[in-house]
């Protein structure tokens, strides 16, 4: 509970003595409720938050900024205070229930859109996969030939490009599919890049029915928002555009994506040449469960959830349409203030700045997949002494037998003893190695894994991992002993 500064002395003395059994925490804080409540809410998360205010104006301000319940201290007596505690607990419980329901709806709508994307994503993966397979076969044919082939390096470059394309599609899909959380970190993003990421996901869906036109502002200011949420809104609007285009016959269809900015917002507009939206329908399209789509094409929640997500980000989603001539949806994203920009820049700097590796050392790599272990060995053995293990128990056995690796690279999901259990053992028995552990996982969407990595991991990588990513991770955790990357 957070009283205002003016009531601090009376609140502190009275509540702490009389109502200690009801209080989770009592804090006396200074500042206007509009600043105080969001700051405390960010720290305490979903815990009940009551605010004791000096007057009605401060009470209303506290409610509007996230307090579960408020009380004006000048009007307080013992029954009123008991009621205040009860209402705070009840409203916090109701709020948490609403948040869980909303999160479930958001994720359900996301899964519905994911079903639409599956065929297109398969196409986006199968094309580079086919190029990769054919290139590998050509390399094998070259290797079996006695005459050297001048195009071998070119084939290898094409194979790397194809595998990178597959990794890019998987990465985009993972961003879209992961569960939404209130704690999703805001990132410093280029709106044009995010639009391209969304277009890669829905490209097949749109390219089959329309031509995509891009009109990007090349000097677009960056925004600070959670990438997953922005991708979800963009994907939803783009899929809606593709569905709308299917409802009308024209000689040629187009979807036009435009980015612009003014002094307050970055605007991303998506226009289609569908049938447009009738005026009597326009005022209802953001209502929950309202839809004009054919049966099986939507739940009626997509636009409602998308607008809600945009408003959570401090922006909005608006629509313009002339019936018979298409529709335009405009995503408004607020320009970040100096504090948000500084925080995002520092986070990005911390994630990318690494010290050079310069001395040979030993690495223990852990994965149940023999192919991954062989790949680790091939990449690291030129500069490091590499040990391998298939699960956490094998790691413990090696360490207990006298092995002393300088760093550990381990898959989080392992048979027998998994990465989390191994880490707990390391913290007890080998704390130095625990501090030099790099986690690798392909299942970042799993809540249990995300929570564990957030709380414990100094460095975590998501498969597929490139050589540079792995070297950067090793650089970040090994000081001062280190090794040089291949070719350095």
Each residue's pLDDT tens digit, 64-104: 888 888 887 765 666 777 777 777 778 878 877 777 776 66
- In which region does residue 66 sit, left (phi positive, over 0), alpha (psi from -120 to 50) or beta (all else)? left
**Residue 348 belongs to a domain:** no
Which of 305, 340, 375 is at the close of a domain?
A: 340
Whether residue 272 sits in one domain with residue 218 = yes
The answer to whether residues 358 and 283 belong to one domain is no
Report if residue 133 sits inside a domain. Answer: yes
Based on the fold, state whether residues 157 and 274 are members of the same structural domain: yes
Count of residues in the chain: 488
Choice between 483 and 56, residue whose per-residue pLDDT is larger: 56
Q: How many domains are contained in the chain?
A: 3
Are 143 and 53 within one domain?
no
Say which range, 142-151, 329-338, 398-407, has the weakest mean pLDDT: 142-151
User: Among 281, 362, 292, which Cα is nearest to 323's?
Assistant: 281
Rounded to whole angstroms, the Cα distance separating 236 from 113 reads 7
291/382: higher pLDDT:
382
- For 299-351, give the secondary structure using H, E and C: CCCHHHHHHHHHHHCCCEEEEEECCCCCEEEEEEEECCCHHHHHHHHHHHHHH
Same domain (yes/no): 175, 294 = yes
Task: Say how far apart CA 34 and CA 70 lie, in whole Å.
Answer: 13
What is the per-residue pLDDT across 114-130, written as a single tens digit (0 to 9) for each? 656 665 566 567 667 77
Q: Which residues, including other chains, have CB under 8 Å from residue 84's CB and lie 6 or more apart?
A: 50, 52, 69, 71, 76
Give the rounded percent of residues in the chain with a pLDDT score beyond 70: 71
Contacts of 14 (CB under 8 A, 6+ apart): none
Please give the residue that has the higher pLDDT: either 435 or 44.
435
Q: Are 323 and 277 in contact (CB under 8 A)?
A: yes
| CATH code of the domain covering residue 413 | 3.40.50.2300
Query: Is residue 335 located within the same domain as residue 390?
Result: no
* 22 has pLDDT over 80: no
Same domain, 378 and 330: no
* Structure confidence at residue 260 as a pLDDT band (50, 70, 90): very high
- Are residues 325 and 454 located together in one domain of the fold? no
Of the candidates 313, 340, 367, which is a domain's last residue?
340
Residue 377 and residue 305 in one domain: no
Q: 178 and 215 share a domain?
A: yes
Pair 247, 206 in one domain: yes
CA angle 349, 195, 124 (to 5 degrees): 105
The answer to whether residue 158 sits within a structural domain is: yes
β strands within 110-264, DSSP E:
187-189, 211-215, 223-225, 254-261
| Closest to 172 (Cα-Cα) out of 151, 150, 201 | 201
d(CA 384, CA 361): 5
Q: What is the pLDDT of residue 389?
A: 92
Average pLDDT, the chain: 77
Same domain (yes/no): 198, 296: yes
User: Domain range spanning residue 292?
Assistant: 118-340
In a domain, 485, yes or no: no
Average pLDDT over residues 294-312: 70
For residue 197, pLDDT beyond 90 = no
CA distances from 56 to 30, 63, 71, 82 (A): 17, 11, 8, 19
Task: Tell me which range, 52-56, 155-159, 431-435, is most confidently predicted by mean pLDDT.
Answer: 431-435
């Amino acid at each position: 509970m957070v009283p205002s500064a003016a009531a601090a002395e009376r609140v502190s003395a009275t509540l702490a003595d009389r109502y200690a059994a009801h209080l989770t925490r009592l804090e006396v804080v200074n500042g206007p409720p509009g600043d105080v409540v969001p700051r405390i809410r960010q720290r305490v998360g979903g815990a009940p938050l009551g605010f004791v205010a000096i007057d009605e104006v401060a009470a209303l301000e506290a409610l509007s900024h996230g307090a579960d319940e408020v009380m004006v201290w000048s009007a307080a007596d013992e029954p009123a205070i008991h009621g205040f505690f009860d209402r705070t607990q009840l409203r916090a419980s109701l709020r948490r229930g609403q948040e869980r329901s909303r999160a479930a709806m958001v994720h359900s709508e996301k899964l519905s859109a994911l079903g639409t994307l599956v065929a297109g994503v398969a196409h986006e993966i199968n094309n580079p996969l086919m190029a990769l397979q054919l290139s590998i076969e050509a390399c094998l044919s070259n290797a079996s030939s006695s005459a050297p082939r001048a195009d071998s390096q070119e084939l290898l470059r094409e194979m790397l490009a194809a595998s990178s394309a597959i990794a890019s599609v998987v990465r985009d899909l993972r961003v879209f599919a992961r569960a939404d959380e209130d704690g999703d970190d805001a990132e410093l993003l280029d709106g044009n890049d995010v639009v391209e990421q969304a277009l890669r996901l829905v490209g097949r869906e749109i390219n089959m029915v329309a031509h995509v036109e891009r009109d990007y502002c090349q000097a677009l200011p960056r925004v600070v928002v959670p990438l997953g949420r922005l991708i979800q809104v963009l994907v939803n609007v783009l899929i809606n555009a593709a569905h709308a285009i299917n409802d009308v016959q024209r000689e040629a269809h187009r979807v036009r994506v435009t980015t612009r900015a003014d002094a307050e917002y970055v605007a991303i507009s998506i226009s289609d040449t569908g049938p447009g939206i009738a005026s009597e329908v326009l005022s209802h399209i953001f209502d929950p469960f309202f839809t004009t789509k054919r049966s099986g094409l939507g739940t009626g929640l997509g636009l409602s959830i998308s607008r809600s997500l945009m408003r959570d980000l401090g922006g909005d989603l608006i629509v313009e349409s002339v019936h018979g001539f298409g529709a335009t949806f405009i995503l408004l994203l607020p320009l970040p203030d100096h504090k948000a920009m500084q925080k995002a820049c520092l986070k990005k700097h911390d994630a990318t700045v690494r010290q050079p590796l310069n001395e040979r050392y030993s690495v223990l790599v852990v994965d149940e997949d023999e192919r991954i272990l062989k790949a680790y060995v091939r990449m690291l053995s030129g500069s490091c002494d590499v040990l391998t293990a298939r699960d956490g128990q094998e790691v413990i056995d090696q360490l207990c037998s006298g092995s002393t690796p300088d760093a550990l690279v381990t898959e989080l999901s392992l048979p027998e003893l998994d990465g989390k259990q191994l880490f707990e053992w390391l913290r007890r028995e080998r704390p130095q190695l625990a501090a030099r552990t790099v986690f690798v996982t392909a299942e970042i969407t799993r809540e249990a894994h995300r929570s564990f990595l957030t709380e414990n991991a100094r460095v975590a990588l998501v498969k597929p991992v490139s050589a540079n990513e792995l070297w950067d991770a090793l650089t970040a955790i090994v000081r001062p002993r280190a090794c040089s990357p291949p070719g350095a």
